Amino acid sequence: MSAYEAVFCIVNEGFSDVVMDAAKEAGARGGTVIHAHGTANKEAENFFKITIQPEKEIVMILVPSDIKDDVLRALYRNAGLKSEGQGIAFSMPVDDVVGMRGAEPAAADEGEKK
């Protein structure tokens, strides 16, 4: 099992703050927002019974695996498909992490000590 998970949340433009607020309440420390353009078609709109706004924001959040479920639940509650943000969220395991306090691999620590 991975020590970290990458959580991705795709929301309508203007709702990345809602995503980050919810994630932080669940224990996340920060994230990165990428501006994007959705490509959903009318079939998807009819299936979900929502109007899909083409301008999107993708919020990427790296979290310890033990809080991933809490973060996903918070995103669903605050920015899910039934909210104005109409967000979807998913996670992926992360094999290696550098650049975060306490997350450097052991080999990097050994190299720095030499």
What single string gives the DSSP state of each residue in 54-67?
SEEEEEEEEEEGGG
Note the pLDDT of residue 114: 44
Per-residue model confidence (pLDDT) at position 7: 98
pLDDT tens over the chain, length 114 residues:
789 999 999 999 999 999 999 999 999 999 999 999 887 677 777 777 776 678 999 999 999 999 999 999 999 999 998 999 999 999 999 999 888 776 655 554 555 544
By C-alpha distance, which of 3, 7, 1 is closest to 26?
A: 7
pLDDT at 98: 87
pLDDT digits (tens, 9 = 90+) for 59-78: 999 999 999 999 999 999 99
pLDDT of residue 111: 52
Among residues 32, 36, 34, the alpha carbon closest in space to that of 99 is found at 32
Q: Which amino acid is located at 70 in the chain?
A: D
pTM across the whole model? 0.79
Strand duo 4-12 + 55-64: pairing: antiparallel
Q: What number does CATH give the domain 4-113? A: 3.30.70.120
Query: Token match 């009318």: residue?
Result: 42
What residue segments make up the domains of the chain, in order of their start?
Answer: 4-113
